[in-house]
Amino acid sequence: ATMPPLLSTIANAGRHGVLVKSAVALEKFGVVDVVAFDKTGTLTEGTPRVAEIEPVRSAGMSTERLLALAAAAERPSEHPLARAVVAAAHEHDVPVPHTEDFSSTPGRGVTALVDGVRVRVGSPALLADLPGASADQLAEARLSVTLLEEAGRTAVVVVADGAPVGVLALADRVRPGAREAVARLAAMTGRSPLLLTGDNERAARRLAEEVGIVDVRAGLLPDEKVAEVRALQEQGHRVLLVGDGVNDAPAMAAAELGVAMGRHGSDLALETADAVIVRDDLSTLPKVVGLSRRAHRVVK
Ligand code: ADP
Ligand code: MG
């Protein structure tokens, strides 16, 4: 006996490395007309590395101490940048002190008490919120951030007791199939895909250029990613959002179709997504859109 067309199409998508969770989800693949990608962990591999460590000289903290404090504060976080910072401490044989009183703000960063020091690690936006810091230290930290971002890095700042003490530069690689997926999805939907990211504008534009995306919305907090999706929907679009579930699970839920990256995706994302890409290759995505469209022509 032959399988009903929708079921056989779901099985076929599975062979391409995309787990589609329901017939309804499969149908949505065929009708979306805008595709939006998250950056870190989605268009990139999501295993960034700390490429440079720049202490703020006038703060007088050693590179080792800077890395130790940052790694301790990041240890409880599941963010890909946090894992990279902890890995860097291990690579440099820097012992990581005990972490107390940890908390994280999605799209911003983390804070914790380390050896009695209040440590904050996160986006350069942190620098705008340090009223007690010296002007010299702030200027130095800002200059490091600008230079690193111009080089296409993601800059993360480290703050100790309200003073900027260093900047870490993180580098990530483009995921296989990203460029091909962007081009094919643009041709299929008639609209070039978007990039929605919490990362800085400069790093976002660099990456976008590499994969062929023109429409870049950077510096977005998780709620602002949701607002971008809703704005597109209000214009009558049906949005497919691809994310890794770290800081983008709410946007994934708001989209018609939420697709999660399976390898590095958070558990929450894997549960709430309509489909999961289980291979590290994004070129599977347009294939499933094509399968869905053909299945519907068969059924109708
Ligand atoms: P993306 O949209 O590219 O996946 P996120 O929304 O996850 O990025 O994060 C946005 C920005 O917030 C990061 O580029 C970084 O500056 C900052 N950030 C978030 N979480 C952390 C963390 N645990 N450690 C350091 N920086 C963080
Ligand atoms: Mg992400």
Query: Are residue 35 and residue 88 in the same domain, yes or no?
Result: no
Name the closest ligand to CA 216.
1
Query: Are residue 54 and residue 149 in the same domain, yes or no?
Result: yes
228: Cβ below 6 Å to ligand 1?
no
CA of 219 to the centre of ligand 2 (A): 12
Q: Domain count for the chain, please give it.
A: 2
The predicted-structure confidence for 20-76, as pLDDT tens digits, reads as follows 999 999 999 999 999 999 998 899 988 899 999 999 999 999 999 999 999 999 999
Query: Are residue 186 and residue 243 in the same domain, yes or no?
Result: yes
Query: Are residue 77 and residue 22 in the same domain, yes or no?
Result: no
**End-of-domain residue from the set 171, 206, 235:** 171
Query: Are residue 280 and residue 207 in the same domain, yes or no?
Result: yes
Residue 143's CATH number: 3.40.1110.10
C-beta separation of 106 from 243 below 8 A: no
Query: Are residue 143 and residue 84 in the same domain, yes or no?
Result: yes
Q: Which residue, among 86, 148, 99, has the nearest Cα to 123 in the 3D structure?
A: 148
- Rounded distance between C-alpha atoms, residue 5 and residue 12, angstroms: 10
For 45, the token pair is 């591999």
The predicted-structure confidence for 118-169, as pLDDT tens digits, reads as follows 999 999 999 999 999 999 999 999 999 999 998 889 999 999 999 999 999 9
Query: Are residue 34 and residue 62 in the same domain, yes or no?
Result: no
Query: Are residue 111 and residue 131 in the same domain, yes or no?
Result: yes
Query: Are residue 210 and residue 289 in the same domain, yes or no?
Result: yes
Q: From the candidates 38, 199, 244, 274, give the one annotated as an active-site residue.
A: 38
Residue 232's CATH number: 3.40.50.1000
Query: Are residue 59 and residue 14 in the same domain, yes or no?
Result: no
Cβ neighbors of 53 (< 8 A, separation 6 or more) are: 63, 66, 67, 88, 166, 168, 169
Query: Are residue 70 and residue 150 in the same domain, yes or no?
Result: yes
Complex ipTM tops 0.85: yes
Better-scored residue on pLDDT, 8 or 144: 144
Range of the domain at 116: 49-171
75: Cβ below 6 Å to ligand 1?
no
**End-of-domain residue from the set 120, 142, 171:** 171
**End-of-domain residue from the set 129, 151, 171:** 171
Query: Are residue 225 and residue 242 in the same domain, yes or no?
Result: yes
- Rounded distance between C-alpha atoms, residue 248 and residue 245, angstroms: 5
Phi and psi angles of residue 194, each rounded to the nearest 5 degrees, phi first: -110, 160
